[in-house]
Amino acid sequence: MATPRPDLRIEALASHHDRDGFSCGVDSLDRYLRTQASQDVRRKANGVFILVEPDKPDVVLGYYTLCATGVAQGDVPAAARKHIPRYPLVSATLVGRLAVSEARQGERLGAMLLADAVRRAYASAATVGSSMLVVDAINERAAAFYEGNGFVRLPDSLRLVLPMQAIQRLVEP
């Protein structure tokens, strides 16, 4: 799992962040940050977390969102099932969106954002239970990014999961 870097900071979305200046190459993800993210934060629909360099605190290098969700037992991949309770609907945390500025892609910033999402979701699961982290990849390339970061793919789907028990081994070795 990517480790935090002293030259970068990940913080909750605030009014000083330049949401209009962000472009990751996927219009829906740019538009979400521009038009919807602040309202989601106000309504507690999503947590939105922003990657910045401390000396340019307004420039958004990337972002991700987290919210509560549920996954049907039958949708849990076999490889993850032994870590998951046998409830019909399993509690989970969704990384609904994750994006890195187009100019900065390929520098492992996405891996760093994902590691922060993993740590944050794991910490919050101690208060509001959650058996796994879930992502819906936007395409095959994004799915490969999540698989490369330890997520297990559901068959015939762009959905991937990472059980909290597996995360425990990563964050509490």
List interacting residues with ligand COA (CB under 6 A): 24-26, 29, 98-100, 105-111, 137-138, 141-142, 144-145, 148
Residue 63 Cβ, how far from ligand COA at the closest point, in Å?
9
* Shortest distance (Å) from residue 87 CB to ligand COA: 26
Terminal alpha carbon distance of the chain: 12
Whose Cβ is closer to ligand COA: residue 42's or residue 141's?
141
| Residue with smaller CB distance to ligand COA, 79 or 144 | 144
* Closest to ligand COA by CB, 56 or 81: 56
Strands 159-163 and 89-100 turn out to be unpaired
Residue nearest to ligand COA (CB): 110
Pick between residue 35 and residue 165 the one whose CB is nearest to ligand COA: 35
Nearer to ligand COA, 125 or 159 (CB): 159
Helices 109-125 and 164-171: crossing angle, nearest 10°? 110
Closest separation in Å from C-beta 73 to ligand COA? 24
Identify the bridge partners of residue 69 per DSSP, sorted by sequence position.
92
- Sorted by sequence, the CB contacts under 8 Å of residue 134 that are 6+ apart come out as 69, 71, 92, 93, 94, 95, 159, 160, 161
Burial 87-107 (b: 16+ CB within 10 A, else e): eeebbbbbbbbbbbbeeeeee
CB of 137 to ligand COA, least distance (A): 5
The Cα–Cα gap between 51 and 111 comes to: 12
CB of 100 to ligand COA, least distance (A): 4
